[in-house]
Amino acid sequence: MSNPALRIGIDLGGTKTEGIVLDRRGNQLARRRVPTPQGDYDGTLRTIHDLVAGLEAEAGRRATVGVGIPGIVSPATGLVKNANSTWLNGRPLDTDLAAVLRRPVRLENDANCLAVSEATDGAGAGCGVVFAAILGTGCGGGIVVHGRPLSGRNAVAGEWGHSPLPWPADGERPGPTCYCGKAGCLETFVSGPGVAADHRRATGESLGAEEIAARAAGGDAACCATLDRLCGRLARGLATVVNLLDPDVIVLGGGLSNVEALYGALPPLIEHWSFSDRIDTPVRRAVHGDSSGVRGAAWLWRPEGLETVNAGAAAP
């Protein structure tokens, strides 16, 4: 399997599990989506087994399998940690999947899969260092360096969502309580639920992040103010990424990445908070949108594939 002809990617989400088959050039051959059996570990294994079997039957050939999960396998224990799909935590998911599927399986954090996908043939194609942020139910980050995901010694590289909000104002301290047990994590401010909670605290009105963005685009003053706070907080978080990593591109994925106002507002705000005389790092929407995670999981098996797919791509 040093250069597999077909690659299956599985994106194991909290509510849905999606699978895709790609050929070595990145062309989609088959795609399926099924509900995730929430809270059911054995059911999750069966779901992935059945999804892989169905995709291979449709594609007509056996394939490698990469899986993106909302957590990571701990190098210390070999068990899943940090998953907001909590029934995965403390489980040897990679070895269990390998036994069920009867082949090696590569697991990676879903934010890293987003980064791999966009670095391979998306918004970060041709870039040496890509930072990708998932702004959805949670707030995750993934780093790709020269085509390879950077997980780090402790498999927590890119977990910027569980860093504190930088340069907090008095009204932002100590910050909302996070599911991780700490307060003031960036995730509690810039995720979809975080934006909705911020709007509710400011106005007493319960709206989802998508509705807030839509109303802001229509000129609603309260929603515009909520969106301005999101841009400011997100820019502060991304400025710390620039100060530490200085990536060639920042790619946004997840539901909030569809808020068009972010792409004009963020660059000057990031520059303001960054430790440099000038910042020209582009902020781009994920080219593959909701498909980025599942495509990135498939690309976890590609020793030579990045160079092939990226042929002719130019860095910004």
Statement to judge: residues 269 and 152 lie in one domain: yes
> Using 50, 70 and 90 to split pLDDT, how confident is the model at 303?
low
What pLDDT score was predicted for residue 263?
A: 97
Q: Are residues 159 and 271 in the same domain?
A: yes
Whether the CB-CB separation of 68 and 113 falls below 8 Å is answered with: yes
Is the Cβ–Cβ distance between 113 and 301 less than 8 Å? Answer: no
pLDDT digits (tens, 9 = 90+) for 87-130: 999 999 999 999 999 999 999 999 999 999 999 889 999 999 99
Mean pLDDT across the chain, nearest whole number?
A: 91
256 and 130 in a common domain: yes
pLDDT score of 70:
87
Q: Map residue 142 onto helix, strand or coil.
A: strand
pLDDT in tens, 26-66: 899 999 999 999 999 999 999 999 999 999 999 999 999 99
The pair of three-digit structure tokens given for residue 104, joined into one six-digit string: 């090696």
Under 8 Å between Cβ of 256 and 192: yes
- Strand order across the 6-12 sheet: 28-35, 16-23, 6-12, 64-69, 105-109
151, 274: one domain: yes
- Among left, alpha and beta (phi > 0; psi -120 to 50; other), residue 181 is left
Rounded mean pLDDT, 276-293? 93
Are 24 and 44 contained in the same domain?
Answer: yes
Average pLDDT, integer, range 214-229: 97
Contacts of 231 (CB under 8 A, 6+ apart): 261, 262, 265, 266, 269
- The residue segments making up the domain with residue 81 are 6-115+291-309
- Please indicate, yes or no, whether residues 157 and 50 belong to a single structural domain of this protein: no
Query: Considering its fold, how many domains does the chain have in total?
Result: 2
Asked whether residue 179 is assigned to any structural domain, the reply reads yes
Q: What is the distance between the alpha carbons of residues 239 and 119, in angstroms, rounded to a whole number?
A: 20
Residue 86 belongs to domain with CATH number: 3.30.420.40
